[in-house]
Structure 1
Amino acid sequence: MKKFLLFDNDGVLVETEKWYYEANKKALKEIDVELEFDVYMEIMARGGTAWEAAQKLGRPKELIDEQRRRRDAYYQEFLLSEHIEIEGVLDVLEELSREYRMGIVTTARRVDFNLIHSQREIVKYMDFSLCVEEYPRAKPYADPYLAGMKKFGALQRECLVIEDSQRGLQAAVNAGIECAVVDNTFTATHDFSGAAFRIKALKELPLLLKSLKK
């Protein structure tokens, strides 16, 4: 029986992935590197870095580091100015909080995570959040979800991961935890064949969890 829910953040609770891509694209273009969407999606799926193209073209490390800082600034500008809400998320979390303990496990930096949630109520339903600085290796490694499970003092079979990306799903699989993938047009090209469950929107999660009790 599921008792603990481990949510990815970006693309599941807030619609931020598009803007992270746009921030990377903008910063790379400033050093004459084009980041095509299909290339970015392949990189994202395996957990690589958008800066691989710059490295392959021989851009110096100092320049890449500077543009990464610019990327971070652009991304934060997008987070503050663009609409990143996903309709119905708070209603779902309120319903689930009556029966389940919940946490967020994300590859986002803590500074970005805090910026996203400073004016939102999502985290009030969570026991904890884990960001990329708070575990040894990022998704698709198992470390993030193993850390989340440890926070709860839970067993794999008691947990359900909710994800929207291939590398997030792989992290759950590597941790031995069942994963429900939420459809997201941004990650539609990813391979989700390893998912235990598929749902079209987060609002379907309560019904899925009820079905698992039977």
Structure 2
Amino acid sequence: MKKFILFDNDGVLVETEPLYFEASKKALKEFFDVKLHFDQYMDIMTEGNGVWVAAPNATKEEIIRARNQRDIYYQEYLKKEDIAIDNIHDILNALSKNYRMGIVTTSRRVDFEIIHNNRGVTNFMDFVLCVEDYKRAKPYPDPYLKGLKLFNAQKDETVVVEDSQRGLISANSADIDCIIVHNEFTKTQDFSTAKHKIGSLKELIDFLPTL
């Protein structure tokens, strides 16, 4: 019986992934005259690399400048675009009656705080782990293993909710059950190793008791 839920953030609790792609694409074009293709971006994200591998001749200093500008673009998008998931508060409220929940994200803390400013999602969570809070990011198991430790939970009591192949690899490496929730942005990724898939976050309410 599951008692604990570890949520990915981007693409699961908020629709931010297309914005990060657009910000990265814009910075690569501006600083390196490199056109970042969607399929290429998907591969880079799955491997856990930075988009700057698409500009192999860039210097460290150039990458720092481009990354800083990308972060500016991303935060501008976050502040003006609609990133809400439909009925998210109702879903989390229903789940909170039977499960303890936390967020495990590869987002920087500063971006996470912009994303969730006055959104109310974190009110349902025991904790939030951002990329600064663990040694190695997804697809390594470290983020979800730390979440498990914070809950003081057993692996068989816990489930991960993800929308990306990188997150699935991380959960599998941590040996924690993972539910993939459909997301149009990541639908082309390889989820063949996923034991559980749902069409929307709302389905999680009825699906979890079956595990």
Query: Does TM, normalized by the shorter one, top 0.5?
Result: yes
**Pairwise TM-score range, normalised by the shorter structure:** over 0.9
* CA offset digits 1:20-72 (Å, max 9, x no partner): 00000011111211111110011112212111011x2x122211110100000
Partner of 2:72: 73
Partner of 2:39: 38
- Please tell me whether the aligned partners of residues 2 and 209 of structure 2 are also in contact (alpha carbons under 8 angstroms): no
TM-score calculated relative to the size of structure 1? 0.97
Partner of 1:62: 61
After superposition, where does 1:1-214 map in structure 2 within 5 Å? 1-31=1-31, 32-54=33-55, 56=56, 58-212=57-211
- Please tell me whether the aligned partners of residues 46 and 166 of structure 1 are also in contact (alpha carbons under 8 angstroms): no
TM-score calculated relative to the size of structure 2? 0.98
Shift of residue 196, structure 1, vs aligned partner:
2.0
Distance 1:69 1:186 in 2: 24
Runs of 4+ aligned structure 1 residues displaced above 6 Å come to none
What is the aligned length?
210
Shift of residue 90, structure 1, vs aligned partner:
1.1
CA RMSD of aligned residues (A): 0.7
Instruction: List gaps (5 residues or longer) in structure 2.
Output: none
- Please tell me whether the aligned partners of residues 4 and 159 of structure 1 are also in contact (alpha carbons under 8 angstroms): yes
Distance 2:192 2:155 in 1: 20
- Please tell me whether the aligned partners of residues 169 and 179 of structure 1 are also in contact (alpha carbons under 8 angstroms): yes
Distance 2:75 2:87 in 1: 24
Instruction: List gaps (5 residues or longer) in structure 1.
Output: none
Kindly provide the amino acid, as one letter, of the partner of residue 8 in structure 2: D
